[in-house]
Amino acid sequence: MSEGIRTVRGKRAFIIDMDGVIYHGNRLLRGAAELVAWLRREEKRFLFLTNSSERSPEELSQKLGRLGVEVGAEHFYTSALATAAFITSQRPGGSAYAIGEPGLINALYQAGYTMNDANPDYVVVGEARSYNLDSVEKAVRLVLGGARLIGTNPDLTGPDEGGLVPACGALVAPIELATGRKAYFVGKPNPLMMRHALKRLGSTREETVIVGDRMDTDIVAGIESEIETVLVLSGVTARADLGRFPYAPRQVLEGVFEIPE
């Protein structure tokens, strides 16, 4: 056993990305079920931390259940929840025009926000199957009218069963270009997201490890938060990509199947 793997296994708490780490679309990746079983057996604290804003924790729990891995909703935290918490801290009881799926809309409602397509405080963009020119035009008008532009995460692409698909960062870009306003992204690598995760885990950065498939979000988030980093090559980042980045993960694994003993 390498010293690096021994260090990872010795950590008390695990922050784990989902897309490209645990599954691709509706296909469970090798070692995902064994990882969860090992985390429980070793009494580790763990949180699945995803930049995707499409699904609620309950829906993510149900999805993993359908794939054969039973994990309670309390083990999930999404960029939609982090985004709702952020804008509520900035403007409690405000309103938003949201382009996104039910996971984002429900998070905003639960935080006390109302939907407003006339004069909202924020335009909030997440992953959206219903994304179209009409919604972009409305978002542009609202931002030019004074609404603040928020993105749930900066990811340009995400892994799917068929390959890479556009993600939130790519959907926000046309609005940024048309308005000349830059969005504020709440998801990884924003330190806000990592602080939320540590609080939910009840752990310190020294006793925590983050496992992810993206150098530009998961790994840089860990580095900037001084959390041990593990890159898995089962998602977006390939081994050949590592030299393009001015920073490096502490460990590089083929997949999560290498973590359990």
Instruction: List residues with catalytic annotation.
Output: 17, 19
CATH topology of domain 80-185: Rossmann fold (3.40.50)
CATH value of 3-51+188-258 in 3.40.50.1000, 3.40.710.10, 3.40.50.2300, 3.40.47.10 = 3.40.50.1000
The pLDDT score that the predictor gives to residue 1 is: 54
Give residues with Cβ within 8 angstroms of 41, minimum separation 6. none
The pLDDT score that the predictor gives to residue 165 is: 82
The pLDDT score that the predictor gives to residue 164 is: 76
Spatial contact of 53 and 185, defined as CB atoms under 8 Å apart:
no
d(CA 121, CA 111): 14
Instruction: Kindly state the tokens that stand for 169.
Output: 């960062």
The pLDDT score that the predictor gives to residue 161 is: 67
Domains 3-51+188-258 and 80-185 share a fold: yes
The pLDDT score that the predictor gives to residue 230 is: 98
Q: Which residues of the chain fall short of a pLDDT of 50? A: none
The pLDDT score that the predictor gives to residue 115 is: 97
The pLDDT score that the predictor gives to residue 104 is: 97
d(CA 89, CA 84): 9
pLDDT digits (tens, 9 = 90+) for 104-121: 999 999 999 999 999 999
The pLDDT score that the predictor gives to residue 145 is: 98
Can you give the residue ranges of every domain in the chain? 3-51+188-258, 80-185
Instruction: Kindly state the tokens that stand for 159.
Output: 């892994």
